[in-house]
Structure 1
Amino acid sequence: MSSAGNGAEGAVRSADLTQRDWLEAGQSLLRRGGLKALKLRPLADELRVSTGSFYHHFPDFDTYQGRLATYFADAQISAVIDAINRTEREPVARIRLLAQIVRRRGMSRLSIAMRAWAESDRRALAAVERHDDIVLGFLTECLVANGLSRHDAAVRGYALITLGLSKVHAPHLDMDRLFEDLLAILCYPPPAA
């Protein structure tokens, strides 16, 4: 019987779940509570199924955690960037679209949780490093396409990533305007002297 209370409905729901559903649920827990929240019972509760249904998709929790780390680094961020590249041609608009997706999906909170996890798990560390390589490569290519040298583009791409991860309290600043001002500073080459 599912934890949702209706055995028949829970059984249908459990049978419909995919590995991706479990990975997305794990990311949701990481976003909200960090690694300490990533446990089997809360994970099953997140999906409103029994803990037993977990084992239809993963042999054990350690394997699940490894796949969760890999999902963050490979399939998920690569799919986002591929979609952006198909949707938008203008380089700064691609960066703006990535920022919108990151905000809408709570990806900064997830990234912060993954970085904390990476301090104690080599799989999470490898995932964070791959994720950063992918995102920094995307930002660098966008900035090079916008007229910056490769070195300057990489430095500014790094700045954009770290700004996206920061949680600085600044109530006197309009965050939407601040984002546009930062794009203006970081995405365009300085005027010719």
Structure 2
Amino acid sequence: MSSATETPAPRSASARAPDLTPAAWLEAGQSLLRRGGLRALKLRPLAEELRVSTGSFYHHFRDFDDYQGQLAHYFAEDQISDLIDALERATPDPIERIRLLGQTVRRRGSSRLAIAMRAWAESDPRARTAVERHDMLMLDFLARCLTSAGFTRAEAEIRAYGLITLGLSKVHAPHLDMASLFDSLLDIMVARPA
């Protein structure tokens, strides 16, 4: 007889997660990329991340090559498009949209994922195409926001490029408050000369 205070046994790695979707596998792959780069992206760690058997992988993907192609596409299309749509719905203020983007990137660890994707792009044309598409969409979103804030398209594109590259840099600067750094950089980038 068990008591109400007993801790349930941990779910085994082979116990199938309910309603596992291809998106769950893609999110797990991004988590591995974020933490360990491309060398961490392997089938067994993916299955362990989701607490399922490796066999369940094949319910959604033909093979690992198919999975990697879908993972690259997910980074470049579905995920970024959904994020941009959500930011555009969140506020009519274009600068606040950019602030929300910075907060979302920090919360999700997206810059680490983008760095891992860029490293992967050095050896895989699918990842290279995905990174280029991701950058195009993100640059366009930021430039549209900055144009709405009063900059010319040329000024907006330069500032957008600056915001993205500053957000991706990993300069060691422990004396700076990383939590507010993006907002401070944004304030500088959108300030007009007096």
**One-letter amino acid of the structure 1 residue matched with residue 53 of structure 2:** S
Gap runs ≥5 in structure 1: none
Closer, same or farther: CA 63–6 of 1 in aligned 2, 3 Å: closer
Partner of 2:191: 188
Partner of 2:103: 100
Q: Distance in 1 between matches of 2:179 and 2:11?
A: 40
Query: Residues 30-41 of structure 1 correspond to what in structure 2 (within 5 A)?
Result: 30-41=33-44
SS in 2 for 1:103: helix
Decide whether the 8 Å contact of 1:115 with 1:124 is kept in 2: yes
Residue of 76, 85, 105 corresponding to 1:82: 85
Question: TM-score, length-normalised on structure 2?
Answer: 0.91
* Larger CA deviation: 171-180 vs 91-100: 171-180
Decide whether the 8 Å contact of 1:84 with 1:97 is kept in 2: yes
Closer, same or farther: CA 39–85 of 1 in aligned 2, 3 Å: same
Decide whether the 8 Å contact of 1:147 with 1:188 is kept in 2: no
Partner of 1:172: 175
Q: Distance in 1 between matches of 2:50 and 2:183?
A: 37
Partner of 2:12: 5
Q: Give 1:69 deviation, angstroms.
A: 0.1
The structure in which a higher percent of residues are helix is 1
Partner of 1:45: 48
Q: Give 1:61 deviation, angstroms.
A: 0.4
* Larger CA deviation: 165-174 vs 50-59: 165-174
**One-letter amino acid of the structure 1 residue matched with residue 160 of structure 2:** G
Q: Give 1:4 deviation, angstroms.
A: 4.2
Cα deviation, 1:55-80, whole Å, max 9, x if unaligned, reads: 00001000000000000000001101
Gap runs ≥5 in structure 2: 1-9
* Larger CA deviation: 70-79 vs 170-179: 170-179
2:140 equivalent to 1:137: yes
Deviating beyond 4 angstroms after TM superposition, the runs of 4 or more aligned structure 1 residues are none
